[in-house]
A = this chain, B = another copy of it.
């Protein structure tokens, strides 16, 4: 076993990471630094301080990372219209690189030689955490307790907690029916009954949004303003990045928007079924595409579309801090300089409908050319004959040879 002096643990304050905290102290005989972040998961972070103290932790970090999360991670990702496997908005994937980065910063500040997280050995999150750690601090030691210990079930975990006087909330004892992850972008559900992809999830599971059936009977209109591809105002009110996403979450959740039920392919090789609520993100994606539709050049848009699945895969697989993701980001960001203007959306019972879009400064939509009416010479229809003739030339040459 490797010798560890001090380890920075990503600590939620919940059962799992509390057990890990104790287990690290006992197993490695090392000091543990806890790090708890508010990334909009919707739970208080301060209680984590008391729990950490109770377990003898001397260095306790509690950070509000919500603005950084949206500004430097969520927004850059949405500039690419990122979707994994045609459906998934990468809500969990995009938070991990930020946690990893902050853990490494704290390790440097506190002189720790190791970091630790509570992700299991089956999922993508371990990869996302650890690729981040290694990319930012190549000699860091990584401890992934789920891959090392033999506490392979909830019962064993509870037993360990009891044996070591780790306080466990009542609700934890009965056990949550799902494995959940939340941040400002989304909340996810996995495990238990969801492990049969043939079965519909129960209505009770969903926490962030009402069902379309329960949503208001009257549509709600929303104006979204973009600057360089990022949302800067909603309904005319300028908002910070985190406030934008919070507001979109509220509007989306209220109108039954953003639920997803899918089977995805994990980087570690298996298929898994997940359910997601991404109310604000779903609105953001639709609005951004509409904004780009009148401000981006066609071939720039197509280049982005061609690269998007690759970019999404990089984020899903945990390569946020890789040089290839950074290269792609440079291209994506450069494309957004002119993505300025506004989009009008109609939200209604799960539907996000684009009903208008314009840009006073950067629209490439030219009604004089596009019109079905007389265009006064703006476009010469006869040009099309030559255009088609030359595009057809290779096809005709081949056809003449009976191909």
Contacts and interface: CB of A to CB of B under 8 A. Distances in A.
Contacts of A127: 384, 387-388, 391
B401 A362 contact: yes
A121 to B, nearest CB: 3
A151 to B, nearest CB: 11
Total copies of the chain: 4
Interface string A125-149: 0110011001111110000101100
A196 B356 CA distance: 9
A179 interface: yes
A171 interface: no
A81 B309 CA distance: 14
Contact of A386 (B190, B259, B386, B392): B386
A356 B138 contact: no
A335 to B, nearest CB: 6
A262 interface: yes
Contact of A385 (B297, B373, B383, B400): B383
Contacts of A217: 213
Interface string A323-340: 110111011001100100
Given A270-B393, A379-B270, A394-B270, A309 B302 contact: yes
Interface string A248-292: 000000001001011111001111110000000000000001100
A11 interface: no
B382 A138 contact: no
Contact of A134 (B179, B261, B331, B399): B399
A403 interface: yes
A303 B290 contact: no
Contacts of A346: 200
A299 B394 contact: yes
Contacts of A264: 293
A271 B299 contact: no
Contacts of A366: 270-271, 397
A323 to B, nearest CB: 5
Contacts of A297: 322-324, 394, 398
A44 B198 CA distance: 42
A298 B263 CA distance: 11
A306 B195 CA distance: 28
A271 B401 CA distance: 14
Interface string A101-127: 000000000000000000011100011
Contacts of A146: 381
A351 interface: yes
B300 A306 contact: no
A358 interface: yes
A153 B374 contact: yes
Nearest first, the 3 closest Cβ-Cβ pairs linking A and B are A386-B386, A121-B381, A269-B393
Interface of A: 81, 85-87, 120-122, 126-127, 130-131, 134-139, 144, 146-147, 152-153, 179, 190-192, 195-201, 212-213, 217, 219, 256, 259, 261-265, 268-273, 289-290, 293-294, 297-303, 305-306, 309-310, 313, 319, 321-324, 326-328, 330-331, 334-335, 338, 344, 346, 348-351, 353-358, 362-367, 369-374, 379-401, 403
Given A261-B355, A327-B334, 7 more contacts: A81-B86, A134-B396, A190-B372, A200-B344, A271-B364, A300-B327, A386-B386
